[in-house]
Structure 1
């Protein structure tokens, strides 16, 4: 199958950027329209649905993508794969929908979650069907290497949800938000299946493959991957489900708001993870373990640096950002957000390591590592939520997230690579501590919320980078090495600067440059703090 991996990765990452922007815009509006309580009910329903759909669709979506990508020489191989998984998707969707209807009809939902949730599960039953074929269509297109179609469909799904859910949520509350998901998934399913039909006629669903067709293998494929997905999803959602059981929906809504902000830290690791699944698979096939360790440890270091500066900035601006972003009703979300940030950072570090392990193909150790973190997460949630509510959930989830990094480092050693070879964990941690103090001080000194949001991120980033270069967490040429892969003129200019910074070619940065950075860092620090003090004084003397 001829396709450009780079093009596919670019499509995936570009779609993630667009979806992230749309999510960032729509989430606070949805919170305001539903209120803390309604948003909590909505978050709970989406968590239950996400866990439920693992068993309905995971084997299908991963299977159709894998076996189509194999492009075997067997006669009508692609047609038989598409037809086989389509029939399986129909059967599992029907069973999944019927089970939800029966659970609502016979009072199981009422007993487990409360009478008010019964009506929502009828909508979720329909959503099972539309979401099944939405995901089937997208993954089928990815199996054909058509990310240029599958990823715009992901954007279409988000746009459709925003366009329908926001006005309906304003009028009908939670039911309107669910209707948005239903309409968007139906739209994407229809559009996706039409594109699939143009690639391979869907009449293939009626064709019967030969006896040699690997039905058993395809049915049992990816059982370990399904287990891994389930464990990961439990880390994402078990706290929401348990919090709904022990606390009011308003607490769930505010806790979910804190999670949304904490999960914004994962964008960079997700992008790196997407690239690494592709790039390391080939390296594993060539047994280039040293190169894999080099890439993994560098990705760990970059992830730590980028996520740490985002976490420090978010912590410094939490008192300002949360009320502005979600509204004053979300003020109780500030404390859970601060408790979640350390764990979100640890989970971010685990993602590239997990991606490299997946590229090797043996999932035993990654599953064991994720299972250990998930078990800790569940135990702590059970212990802390009944007594401490959303603060207990935040502590439990943060610890569970954080242990992912520790356990996956252990798993990586057993898989056959070292993610800490050039991670410089100590230096990055020192950078975070040294830069954190002035960044927090700067945010505290500026009394105007909007001015703080405008000043602290760029100045804080400059302070962080300066300290990273000074303590050796980041080499001066490395940022330009990354920029050198961009199209010209950015790429050529960055490559030229990189060459000059590397000096005479021995790979060591020039000492005068470090001294210059030291002065620049101190200057930025002093200027930033002075700006904050001046702003505070101006506010104090204003009438």
Structure 2
């Protein structure tokens, strides 16, 4: 992987880990303080807001990120792009906020969603404006390649939200208090983010007039296509919650949202790759480096499969333990939907880097067609299964829709002009997952103490998985060190030295050394398999001795 892109991915992943940890701490608190019913209302409102913001924000944020990253020689290109999209962001935010206020004022909200939702939509109207500038500032910084600024703003956003929302939920303010947390956090991030943008490009460019050569039509065309794509994509996230709210009580929606929250934890690395790839591959496409793009996409697909699969296996093995501890006993009904969602979540994770590379090329008709097929299937299946099977039907329908994304976007990628499976090694990655799942699940089953299981299974399971990945060839011996080489020193420099040494050995003709290494991997894999089962038996024995 290109080192600058890898560094960008590392920056995004590092922040996402922090954000995920903070979210992991705050989500069960909100679930408990609000209760399943109010948490279901909150999840429903966020889904409606996310779908609504597609039309307000997605064309702006995707456009400014893509076109700032392009390698163009036009005079004052960056200033004109920033000014063009800032004007567009202001206009769309005002229109979006006014429409929500009118819908609340004239009773449309009450008729559509029931009594009690009007006050929430007034809050959402304000959130439209603050969220628009928050997202515009962050995506502008990313377009400049300044992930070191854009990504810490996500931490600021999360910390500010938790600081306001959790105490308000605790004292009984309810859903409106949690929405207030979003308002304060997005306003703070917007102010800080725009200040940083202003240091790079003066915001007085808002009033600048681009030349006739400025590609307004191309930008607006990309914006409109991007809105369609994001709408179809976001429907996969939210249509199940919106439809479930219509056919089931709010408590069921809250428990299903809890299952989705855990399933979406699988996506933090794929989301980081997707975030960086859109603007990073735009430059590669503009330079017609098609072979490098295929290599980049296929390796990203392979790494995504392995990282997401090991997390999915671990989450499936610990679902009975993790859900009650994390959300409380009221969330036990979320366990089965979670297990049904995991296979589809893996497929959606694989589709994300492929989609990002296609977006970087700029011709969106094939990604739109691919996403449209998955979105249509998702809507049809949800409509068919939710009335009869409730949240279990929603989980099955959504999982199938998620999984279809990978198949459809492989077809789309080849139409766009790259091969995401060139070095994906899907069969080897799948074999790794099957082999590793046996001892990991056995270990989790054998350890009766839930806290001991949470402490033992993740690190041991990860070791087992990596051992099998190396054994079957899903990973080359040098690749783990290549990934570690982007870490700060001293880890990065030492990993890079080991990587170079291993690559030299791999490139040589010393068959005896290679055979010895493969034998070592086999022994290591067998040892990890046996040790996982042994630790499970040991944990069970220790638990039986506890009072």
In the superposition, the TM-score normalised over structure 1's length comes to: 0.91
Indicate the SS of the match to 1:420. coil
Superposition deviation, residue 392 in structure 1: 0.6
Counterparts of 2:429 and 2:66, CA distance in 1: 38
The corresponding residue for 2:245 is 244
Superposition deviation, residue 308 in structure 1: 1.0
Which of 521, 524, 534 is matched with 2:528 structurally? 524
The corresponding residue for 1:59 is 59
Check the 8 A contact 1:51/1:234 in 2, yes or no.
yes
Check the 8 A contact 1:445/1:533 in 2, yes or no.
yes
Which runs of structure 2 are paired with 1:122-521 in the superposition (5 Å)?
Answer: 122-171=122-171, 172-206=173-207, 215-486=216-487, 487=489, 488-495=492-499, 497-499=501-503, 502=506, 504-505=508-509, 510-521=514-525
Change (3 A) 1:214 1:450: same
The answer to which structure, 1 or 2, has the higher relative contact order (CA under 8 A, 6+ apart) is 2
Check the 8 A contact 2:471/2:525 in 1, yes or no.
no
Indicate the SS of the match to 1:502. helix
Check the 8 A contact 1:235/1:377 in 2, yes or no.
yes
How many residues matched?
Answer: 540
Superposition deviation, residue 522 in structure 1: 2.4
Check the 8 A contact 2:65/2:140 in 1, yes or no.
yes
Residue ranges of structure 2 left out of the alignment (5+ in a row): none
C-alpha offsets along residues 166-186 of structure 1, whole Å, 9 cap, x if unaligned? 111212111110000011111
C-alpha offsets along residues 181-229 of structure 1, whole Å, 9 cap, x if unaligned? 0111111222233334444444444555666665555444422112111
Indicate the SS of the match to 2:116. helix
Which shifted more, 141-150 or 69-78? Answer: 69-78
Counterparts of 1:308 and 1:201, CA distance in 2: 45
Counterparts of 1:76 and 1:354, CA distance in 2: 30
Indicate the SS of the match to 2:302. helix
C-alpha offsets along residues 14-33 of structure 1, whole Å, 9 cap, x if unaligned? 33333222222221222121
Counterparts of 1:234 and 1:436, CA distance in 2: 31
Change (3 A) 1:43 1:533: same
Change (3 A) 1:178 1:268: same
C-alpha offsets along residues 467-502 of structure 1, whole Å, 9 cap, x if unaligned? 223333233333234334544442344225524752
When the two chains are superposed, the root-mean-square deviation of aligned CA atoms in Å is 2.7
Counterparts of 1:76 and 1:465, CA distance in 2: 48
Check the 8 A contact 2:70/2:286 in 1, yes or no.
no
Check the 8 A contact 2:370/2:405 in 1, yes or no.
yes
The corresponding residue for 1:24 is 24
Superposition deviation, residue 506 in structure 1: 6.9
Indicate the SS of the match to 2:117. helix
Indicate the SS of the match to 2:436. helix
Change (3 A) 1:287 1:207: closer
Change (3 A) 1:392 1:80: same
Check the 8 A contact 1:484/1:494 in 2, yes or no.
no
Find out whether 1:45 has 2:71 as its counterpart.
no
Which shifted more, 298-307 or 478-487? Answer: 478-487
The corresponding residue for 2:107 is 107
Superposition deviation, residue 113 in structure 1: 1.2
Counterparts of 1:146 and 1:518, CA distance in 2: 43
Indicate the SS of the match to 1:116. coil
Change (3 A) 1:505 1:37: farther
Indicate the SS of the match to 1:510. helix
